[in-house]
Each structure stands twice: as C-alpha cells, then as structure tokens.
Chains A and B, each alone.
Chain A
Amino acid sequence: MAIDKTLVTRSTSMLLLKLLQTEDMYGYQMIEELARRSDDTFSLKAGTLYPLLHSLQEEGVIEVYEKTAESGRLRKYYRLTKEGHRMLEVKEAEWYDYSTAVNKVLSGGVSLATV
C-alpha cells in the first residue's frame, strides 16, 4: 500500500520512539522491526534512519551506547531517555487526536467509536 510521504515523514520519529519504548535496538534492527510490525508498509532506508536518529539524539530524546552483541560484534544501541518517554506520550496523544478527527471526517462526521 502506498502512503503519502509527508505523512510518513511526520510520523516516523514517533514510530522510532515507539520501537525503543520496550527495547534498546541497533539501526538495522529498527528497520527490520518497523517493517515487520507494519506488514512491510514502512520500509525505512538507512539514509533516512541515521540522520533522523542523530536529530533525535541531539534533541535528547534518545541516547546511544555501545555493547558487545552475542555475535561478538560491538554494536551501537539506541535507547529512549526520560525526555523521550515523555515526548512519545505527547506524540501518541497528538496522533490519536489527529487520526480520530480524520476518521470522523471520512465517516461523514460520525465518530467511529459510536458506530
């Protein structure tokens, strides 16, 4: 399914934060997990992911550390900071309001919850 790119870009940072909510992940793992959870709807490119991760790191919502993986490789893992958890809550609430409003318009002004 093709999705409007602007919509995807706006929500990508929220999706990345959501991925990190439960588990610290490395870059490739995040792309794989995002594709898996979205049934391949979101296939993020590395060229998009790393600048976005760097921006989130500068904002202080995620932080990076290195850890030796089971394979013996030293990997860079990303984790959510306290500020990141707060930002995710805000973004989720915003997204919920937005999607509810869109759904309401699409359903002709009737809230889906009451249908």
Chain B
Amino acid sequence: MQPSEHAKDFLKTVCAQVRWKQAHETIRRDLADHIEDQTEAFIRAGMDEREASARAVKEMGDPVDVGLLLDSSYRPKIEWNMLAILGTLVMAGLLIRLIFYRLSSAEWTEYIVASLIGIGCFLLMLQVNFYRMLKWTWFLQIGFMILTLTIPLRSMFIPTYSDFHGFEYIWLQSLWILYPVIYALVIYRMRSSGFVGLISTGLLLILPVFLGIKSDAMTLYGVIACMACFILIMTAIFLRCYRCNRFLAAALVGGVSALGGYVLLIYAPYRAARVLAPLHPMQDPLGVGWLTLRIRELLANSVWLGHGAALSDTTQLFLEQHKTFASDFVLTTLIYQYGFIILAVLTLFFLALFAFGFYRTKRISNQLGKLLAIGILTALIAQTLLYIVPCFGYPAISSSALPFITGSSIYLVFDYLLLGLLLSLFRTDTLFADTSPRRKRLRLRFSWDIGLEDK
C-alpha cells in the first residue's frame, strides 16, 4: 500500500524535526508501516480506504510533537573513549617523529599529506551509513577481484611487472587491507545457505590468494587480510550465520586453512626455513639467524627506563643503521634507547583501543554490523601483531606498521579509513535491522546437509 498524501505530509513534517538525517529513512519506514497497519485496521472496521487513511494519520498525533520526541531519541553516538585513544596514538606518532628522529623534509611532507588525507577519509567515513553498502556487495567483490588480480595476472604474463614497485603496484596490493570489509558483506550475503554458502565463501578467498602466491604478488597486506578473513569466517560460524553444524563447519575451515598452510610450506621449503630460523638463530648466525640475534641482543640489553647497556660491535652497527624512522624496527630501537616503558605505554593504548572496540562490537544488535566490525578490528590487530612480533626477534614475516604511529603513508591512510568506518558502524548500528534468514533453496538440494544443523 502506497502512503497517502496525508501520510506523506505527516512523515515529511516529522522528519523535518529530526536533526540526524541518517535516521530519517528508519523513522519514515517505522511510521509509514504503523500508519499502514492502522489504516488496514480501520478498513477492517468498516471504513473506506480514504477515510481510514486520513483517520490513521490523525491517530498518530501532532507531527511536530512526534518529530521532537524522535529527535530527542535519535542522536548519533560518538565513541569518545575511542576517539580519545586515537588522538593519543596520533600524538604519540607525531611526538616520536619530533623528539626521537630527524625526518627529512620529504618524509615530513609525506607524513603530513598522508595524515591530512587520512583524517579527511576518517571524517568522510563518519558521515556514511555503511549498512547501505550491503546492496553493493557483489559489485565491491568483483571490483576488488578485478583490481587485485591485475597484479598476479600481469605478473604471470609480463615477467618484469612485479619488479616495478611503482605507485600503481603498491596501491593495488595495499587494497587487500580493505578486503575484510568486503568479505564481511559477502559472508552476510551467503548466510543461511549452509555448507554450500560456507564453501562458496571460502572459494572466493582462496582464488585470489592462490593467484597472489603463485605470482609472488602476495604481500603483507594480503597476509593481514587472510588472517582477518579467517577470524571472520570462524565468527560467522559461531554466530550461526551459515545455519549449519558449527563444530563441523569450524573443523572444515580450520582443516582447509591448516592444509593450505602446510602445502605452502612444502611447496616452497624456503618459507619453512624462514619460519623456523628465528627459533634456532645460532644454526645460521651469519645468515637467516643474523637479524634475530641482533634484535635479541638489543632487547636483552634494554632496561625499563633509559638507555640500554653496551652492545657488541655488530649489534651497535645494526642499531646505527636502524636509527631511522624508515626502519622496520623502530619499536626495537626505541625500546633499547629509551626503555621498555615505551612499549608498555603503547601496548596499554592499543589494548584499550581494541578492548573498547570489541566491547562496543558486542553491543551491536545486528549480525552485519558485528561481522563488519570484527573484520576491521581483526585487520587492525593483525597489522599491529605483525609489526610487534618481528620487533621481538621473530622476523619470519616482513614487518607491517604500528597503526597511526609507524609505517608508510599507505598504512596511515588505510588505518584512518578503517577506524572511521568502525566508528561509523557504531554510530548507525540501531538504524539497521537484520532480515530474519530463511533457508535458501540451493541448500535443500543437498540431502547430506539436512540433519547436520544445530538444534
């Protein structure tokens, strides 16, 4: 039933009183549904449609009063605690650059431009209702695959392409860090399709990862995305998104992931050597174990507050070479020069940021918001861990960046973007409602699937 002119005028006046524009669609829908229900009730009571419609609108009360009441209830929520932590981290990044390092003018320019772009993205994200991205799921997925597969495919057919680490190459690879967001949308779209949906979701991840590895175009951004996507699938399973036996599904995903990791190590033994080398650095002290030994010596000679003790000549040389902000081991050298206190303070802030993030995520009442938020949080956590772990002498994987503090301009921009998206989800979570999942027909074709469902 289309809203009558009376109803349209009523809804327009109500929405005019509500200052939070993103809430208008939800309010309009709630009230229009209510008017429709009331109209139908009046028609059942014997009124004609025109009279019923006019009476239903009248029953709603004065539109200005209704609008003002809704305005007092619908207010965008601002996560001040997370904003405060973000501000502190940004300030910490700035102070570390100012006090401990001498950045060149080119480095300062890059940092300032990246920060301005990042803050712009952050503010832009806050203004968007990301639950509306759901209708763009497949467009985003296909667009992402086309953009990222460009690298492995070109690398396969143009042997010199991967040597060209230019702007296009780096930015296309870095897009991976946004993939957990798209993947969360895909999982939500595939929910309630049982094991078929689960396997399809897995294949959508496996294909670009396989091509990326095959062409050596898989970088740390991809590794971060894979870790986040793995956690996302597991979360979706335990949130009963797929409507299949949770333990069997988790075993399937865990098994396939473990098998994939094993095949990767067997297929390229040098990967296994790199992973295992930091555990026994003395076996090859001048080769793969060299970096681990330098970092371990730096940390072993560090103190809680102040400059660390004397180092061997080799490690001293390593320290001098890595006293630049462009180094992957900024945290290690900072700990040695100023004490573990730096690590303790930063760890505290990151723990607080992620703890607030998960606490707020737990309170999101819809599955889509939960999945998107977990995708973003795990991507940021994976990035943080993959920075910290190499700084502690386990450089099996290339180093990432400590969000908002170290790293390249690409990381800085994407970190602002991801956090903006996360806070936007928290702001607008009450404006979105999950659609009660219905079992999709596709799943019923598989008789083996029936009977494995959680009760």
Q: Could you tell me which A residues sit within 8 Å of B by CB distance?
A: 26-29, 32, 45-48, 50-52, 54-55, 57-58, 60, 63-68, 73-77, 81
In the complex, number of A-B residue pairs with CB atoms less than 8 Å apart: 82
Query: Cβ of B29: which chain A residues have Cβ within 8 Å of it?
Result: 76
Could you tell me the distance in whole angstroms from the C-beta of A3 to the nearest C-beta in chain B? 18
User: Of the 9-residue stretches B68-76, B179-187, B300-308, which lies at the interface with chain A?
Assistant: B68-76
Contact with A63, one of B41, B77, B365 (Cβ below 8 angstroms): B365
Q: B73 to A64, Cβ gap below 8 A?
A: no
Q: B69 to A48, Cβ gap below 8 A?
A: yes
Contact with A76, one of B30, B61, B365 (Cβ below 8 angstroms): B30
Please list 25 pairs of residues, one from A and one from B, whose beta carbons are closer than 8 Å in the complex, sorted by A's number: A27-B34, A28-B33, A28-B34, A29-B37, A32-B41, A45-B60, A46-B59, A46-B61, A47-B60, A47-B65, A47-B70, A48-B69, A50-B30, A50-B34, A50-B70, A51-B72, A54-B74, A55-B73, A57-B430, A65-B434, A65-B436, A66-B435, A67-B435, A68-B438, A76-B30
Could you tell me the distance in whole angstroms from the C-beta of A92 to the nearest C-beta in chain B? 23
Q: B430 to A46, Cβ gap below 8 A?
A: no
> What is the total number of residues of chain B having a CB less than 8 Å from a CB of chain A?
30
Contact with A26, one of B33, B41, B70, B430 (Cβ below 8 angstroms): B33
Chain B at the A interface: SS class: helix
B434 nearest CB neighbor, chain A only: A65
Whole-angstrom CA separation of A52 from B69 in the bound complex: 9
Whole-angstrom CA separation of A91 from B34 in the bound complex: 28
Q: Could you tell me which B residues sit within 8 Å of A by CB distance?
A: 27, 29-31, 33-34, 37-38, 41, 59-62, 65-66, 69-70, 72-74, 77, 363, 365-366, 430, 433-436, 438
Q: A66 to B436, Cβ gap below 8 A?
A: yes
Query: Cβ of B365: which chain A residues have Cβ within 8 Å of it?
Result: 57, 60, 63-64, 81
Closest 9 CB pairs of A and B: A47-B66, A51-B73, A28-B37, A63-B365, A67-B436, A64-B433, A66-B435, A47-B61, A51-B69
Q: B69 to A47, Cβ gap below 8 A?
A: yes
Could you tell me the distance in whole angstroms from the C-beta of A6 to the nearest C-beta in chain B? 16
Whole-angstrom CA separation of A60 from B362 in the bound complex: 10
Whole-angstrom CA separation of A51 from B30 in the bound complex: 11
Contact with B33, one of A52, A54, A76, A81 (Cβ below 8 angstroms): A76
Q: B436 to A46, Cβ gap below 8 A?
A: no
Contact with B363, one of A47, A50, A60, A75 (Cβ below 8 angstroms): A60
